Amino acid sequence: MSFAPPMLLHPVAQVGWTSWTIHWSTVIGLAVLGALYHWRAARTAPAPSGGRRLAFFAALLVVFVSLNGPLHDLSDFYLFSAHMVQHLLLTLVVPPLLIAGLTGPMLRPVLGVPVVGSLARWVTTPIACFVIFNVTLAGWHLPPVYNTALAYHWVHIIQHLMFMSAAVLMWWPLTSPLPELPRLSYPGQMLYCFLLSIPMSIVSVYIVYTRTVLYPAYASAPRVWGISPLDDQLIGGLIMWIPGGLFLFGVASVVFFRWASEESPHRPRSVIEAPR
């Protein structure tokens, strides 16, 4: 069954390295999110620090760079591998920066809404976060679903929103700023990072070792740098597999050294934990 309309999925386009294509839906969405953050921060005591504000707006910048300009054009019109770079940025870089920009006092009033509070306590449990993220990741990489997203722009927007939303949940047990929705213990965080790498590896292995083109849009696209569709698919799978896996193991390493530092007998007793 084909989910593509009876036409080429993408017209011939040129990648501009000096001029940027701007998609105003992303600009408007990011501007609204930034304004909402500024409004909430101005009404929160204590106000988020400069470092937290920088992290939040850095996340918005990464989203802008990912969904506009050369990376967007390459991923949408030419290369599956570029699309994998885009997805890694949206799931592994943006969410921890967004959460790092938030504080407990900014979020706590929302938990007072009964339905929101109950739902938040359920979806931020480690098991729920793990399942939601990995089902979302695997589901969107099934060829019929992925090809539909490439064929219809509104489906593609939903795909990116689901990736980022699920990734925020995935990061929550590692970075939560709310004691009411707590982080895992340090050993739990390391195990969680290890387990997260397994479903991503399975999806990557499926893509890497498939000898047919899974996503026809890229087979019909103009070639860039002489990369064949199968080689492009192989590179994309390896990008998800190796940098994605190494990133999670890097996070686990940071958690380990933080745990070791807190358990050190030479750690000053006057050290005060960062507020959550």
Which distant-in-sequence residues (6+ apart) come within 8 Å of 87 by Cβ? 163, 240
Over residues 9-41, the pLDDT tens digits come to 333 345 556 668 898 999 999 999 999 999 999
Over residues 84-120, the pLDDT tens digits come to 999 999 999 999 999 999 999 999 999 888 899 899 9
Span 53-67, average pLDDT: 97
**Looking at the domain assignment, is residue 220 inside a domain?**
yes
Model confidence at 223, pLDDT cuts 50, 70, 90, reads confident
Mean pLDDT over the full length of the chain: 89
Between CA 132 and CA 166 the distance in angstroms is 6
**Looking at the domain assignment, is residue 9 inside a domain?**
no
According to the model, what pLDDT value does residue 220 have? 86
- The domain tally of the chain equals 1
Global confidence as pTM: 0.88
Q: How far is CA 177 from CA 123, 171, 184, 186, 208, in A?
A: 15, 11, 12, 15, 37
**Looking at the domain assignment, is residue 13 inside a domain?**
no
- Amino acid, single-letter form, for residue 26: T
**Looking at the domain assignment, is residue 3 inside a domain?**
no
According to the model, what pLDDT value does residue 273 have? 45
Residue 264 pLDDT > 70: no
Q: Which domain holds residue 84?
A: 24-263
According to the model, what pLDDT value does residue 18 have? 66
Which distant-in-sequence residues (6+ apart) come within 8 Å of 188 by Cβ? 126, 173
Which distant-in-sequence residues (6+ apart) come within 8 Å of 115 by Cβ? none
**Looking at the domain assignment, is residue 2 inside a domain?**
no
**Looking at the domain assignment, is residue 194 inside a domain?**
yes
**Looking at the domain assignment, is residue 1 inside a domain?**
no
